[in-house]
Structure 1
Amino acid sequence: MQGESSYGLWTLVILNSAIFIFFAFSFVKPKTRTDWRSLGAFSGFIIALFTEMYGFPLTIYFLSGWLAEQYPGIDFLSHESGHLLDTLLGLEGDAHFSILHIASNALIIMGFFILSSSWAVLHKAQQAGAMASDGWYARCRHPQYLAFIIIMFGFLLQWPTIPTLVMFPILVVVYVRLARTEEKKALAEFGEQYRQYQRKTPAFIPRLSQPSMQAGST
């Protein structure tokens, strides 16, 4: 409704943040310091996202003058108008059914699927004291970090904000550095076996076809 704010809903901020962080936690099941750093970076992004989605619309306030000039008559304090990318691209209708929102949901679901599938393979390998060699680890060396990046990008399509747009490339760099740290550990543990794996398997961009025999990392 015009003039009625859809923000200040801090219960929804806490609830939604907790749900997605719990999902990530349940799929990653962090044990090492690197695992916790990875989950912590993702959690920070999620909290920033839902804070602006339901709590305080920092981006809308920051851009309020420009938005009012470019889009007169639109109430940007309504939840519907908070989907800024839809407005900027001129997409009409319910934003929850726009192509961007559908693509966003698909990416988020795919990200959590990759996260869950890759953790199952990694956990099995760790129990056997071997390198992960099946599933997503046969397609790329760091599927769990890839999954976090896909999920965050999916949320950006749905609800881009200045803080999350700034955080996204920073977190991508964080995940790349974490991946390099883990690769050093893998090289120390598996030696030439892992070097061969590095030469054959891309780090983040997964191969479309899955080789019959591969080896992996975290």
Structure 2
Amino acid sequence: MDYGYGLWALVIINSVIFIAFAASFFHPANRRDWKAMGAFSAFIVALFTEMYGFPLTIYLLTGVFGSRFGVDLTHNGGHLWADLIGWKGDPHFSPFHLASYFFIAGGLYLIYKAWKVLWAAAGRRELAVTGPYAYVRHPQYAGFLAVMVGFLLQWPTLPTLVMFPVLVVIYRRLSISEERAVRDTFGPAWDAYAAVTPRFVPSRHRRPLTPPSSPPAAVQDRGAGGSSKTAA
């Protein structure tokens, strides 16, 4: 039987693609940035190692739950949510897998759109408050978290399930640290923006602000994918 594992070339190729994409937007410049980038990279490597290399999670579960939930040591068996709900068709078309496409594609698109707004605001030395930034203060962090949620829906593993809440804590701490730095530069403009704009999860009652005239900038959202929300 072809189990669909031991494909280490696919582990490397997929890991490099996603990490390179993240690095192309993130441009880590200090120890704090490298820590965030390293944590995301570890999540990606752990994910694809189990997806195509060695299925540690499936290996462990087949011994404990294999007979009860029908988990088997095959590539399709890695789509655990489909197995646990008793999905009988192709797991790539299960509700969880289809939802994963939405989160992954949506997260990548959010990162891209946020970067365009960020770059334009940096050129004008303004606070970025339009586009995705009109709805959340850190859309690039939100985008990367959405990508990880998508992968967890598609292919949950014990390492990535443990790593995800750690990454949420890391990104939250980074965002708070960055916000302090931005407030020191923009003062009332930042206060007005932050008062009506959620950090990660958009609100239905959010009213976009008019971009303010701002002094030379500070880092507002290095995020998991931006060089800065304003320019120095």
TM over 0.5: yes
Q: CA deviation at 1:92?
A: 1.4
Q: Which amino acid aligns with 1:30?
A: H
Q: Which residue of 2 aligns with 1:13?
A: 11
Q: Which amino acid aligns with 1:121?
A: V
Q: How well do the aligned residues superpose, as a CA RMSD in angstroms?
A: 1.9
Q: CA deviation at 1:38?
A: 3.1
CA contact 1:49–1:164 (8 Å) conserved in 2: yes
The answer to whether 1:70 aligns with 2:68 is yes
CA contact 2:197–2:206 (8 Å) conserved in 1: no
Return the alpha-carbon distance in structure 1 between the equivalents of residues 210 and 94 of structure 2: 39
Q: Which residue of 2 aligns with 1:177?
A: 173
1:60 is matched with which residue: 58, 61, 73? 58
Return the alpha-carbon distance in structure 2 between the equivalents of residues 194 and 178 of structure 1: 17
Q: Which residue of 1 aligns with 2:227?
A: none
Q: Which residue of 2 aligns with 1:202?
A: 198
Return the alpha-carbon distance in structure 2 between the equivalents of residues 12 and 45 of structure 1: 16
Q: Which amino acid aligns with 1:144?
A: Q
Q: What's the TM-score, normalizing by structure 1? A: 0.90
Return the alpha-carbon distance in structure 2 between the equivalents of residues 61 and 200 of structure 1: 48
The answer to whether 1:107 aligns with 2:110 is no
Q: Which residue of 2 aligns with 1:79?
A: 75
Q: 3-state SS of the aligned residue for 1:8? A: coil
CA contact 2:59–2:73 (8 Å) conserved in 1: no
Return the alpha-carbon distance in structure 2 between the equivalents of residues 136 and 80 of structure 1: 36
1:38 is matched with which residue: 23, 36, 39? 36
Unaligned runs of 5+ in 1: none
Q: CA deviation at 1:71?
A: 4.0
Q: What's the TM-score, normalizing by structure 2? A: 0.85
CA contact 1:13–1:51 (8 Å) conserved in 2: yes
Return the alpha-carbon distance in structure 1 between the equivalents of residues 166 and 182 of structure 2: 24
Unaligned runs of 5+ in 2: 213-219, 222-232
Q: CA deviation at 1:32?
A: 3.2
Cα distance, 1:208–1:113 mapped onto 2, change above 3 Å: farther
Q: Percent identity?
A: 48
Cα distance, 1:31–1:66 mapped onto 2, change above 3 Å: closer
